[in-house]
Structure 1
Amino acid sequence: MSRPKSNVALLTEGAKYIQRAKKARREQIEEIKFDDEARREWLTGFSKRKKAKAEEKKVRAKERDHQAHLKERREARADLRKKAAENVKSVRRAMGLEDISDYEDEDEDEEIQAGPSRQKEKIKEVEYSDEDNLATVIIEEDFDPSLIENIEKRFPDSIDDDNDEKTKEIKEIKEKPKIKMLPPSSAKLQKIREKKKEEKKKSKSMETNSERRKGRIFEAQRRTKKASLARDREGSSNSRGGKGGKRGRGGKTRR
């Protein structure tokens, strides 16, 4: 009968296996494994790697040129904005007007002072209650009507001029005749046809339903009369032609 193992032996039994594995790894001889496919690709891929490097350089150069172009455009836009602002200031000074920058500074100060109060006014809370549930809705108003009033106070003449120009353009578009580009002879014919169409429309619009029915009946009667007259004429011409044919043959007529 073997002795039962103590607790120390049971707990340290795994350490022996770990020590053996470490010893086996230390005593193991290092091996060099060759990958034939990787070796072949390395030896035959000099030209591929060279081309890939050249393409990468081209892409980087294009990206640098693109970024430089964008930077130049940004600088040009900034210069144009500065020049435009300077031109506006010089024109306003020549006309004896105040600079816009003064108004902008005043507006910024007003916005800073009235900022929190406006934000409080913009944000509203509305409660909707039901028998079982209660819901609160927050409404944020981004529109500020004071901005429009300030613009109208500053530039009333420009707004009126723009409105007048728009109304003039609309009137000119409405007053232009809708006639296509045609030669002189065809243009006259077109005008005559349009006049006739307008007269027909007017006459039709003035007639009532009963008058239109009477007109249709009258036209049908007139057509039937014309057809009957034409038939009578054809019959009389045929009868005359037959009598003349008998006399031409030399037949004697009885008295």
Structure 2
Amino acid sequence: MVKPNREILTGGRKYAQKQAKKHLVEEVVFDKESRKEYLTGFHKRKLQRQKKAQEYNKEQDRLRRIQERKELRDERKKDLENQLNAFNKTMKDITVDEDEEEEQWNGFEEKEQEEEEEEKEESSQKQPLKGILHHKEVYQVDNEQLLSTSVIDEETTVTIESLDNPIIENIKQANLQAMAKINNVNLEQNDQILENSIKKAKNYAVLCGVTKPERKPKKKFRYLSKAERRDNTRKEKLKGKLRSKKFSDKK
């Protein structure tokens, strides 16, 4: 027997109702605290996101600095190794060249000794330069017979110091005073002028930011004695009386 269309549609409706009852939500409960926290926590969550982003950026910067330092160390190590290899290579070449020269030629040794002796004699015979006020000269005894017969050192060092002529010094002093008088300079105040100039230079350096100003020592704190407190109180009372008297006079 064929069911009519009305029964088929009614059966489908009943089936749909049964299926809906299977997945039916029994009760909807709202948590007021969670709802309030969500609705009022936009700014808080925004600050949390910003904080996390800042922490992430700091960590990335730290890792980047570590990587840069590592690369710099590796580069320096590589440069040092290259320099060391180049130095070892040059030293090896120099030693090889010296060995070859020694094997090929061993002359001119006597000539070099004679040249050194001549240079020593010339240096001993040279006079000291003009203007040097303090120098030393070395004198050697060449007579071997004299050395054998008497007690004399083979080498003697003499220190020579020039003596200033007092007349020349007086003339220089007079010329200096005359020049100072012409330029209106008081030589008696030269130390004071120098100190003032140094002080001005220091102040200018502090003003330009080249140096830091000298820190003044802090005054050591101490408690006042009973007599000092009494004096301060008396002075304050006296000042108050004077102020009140002036105020009354103005009125």
Same topology, TM > 0.5: no
Choose between structure 1 and 2 for higher RCO, CA contacts under 8 A separated by at least 6 residues: 2
- Higher helix proportion, which one? 1
TM-score norm. by structure 2 comes to 0.28
TM-score norm. by structure 1 comes to 0.28
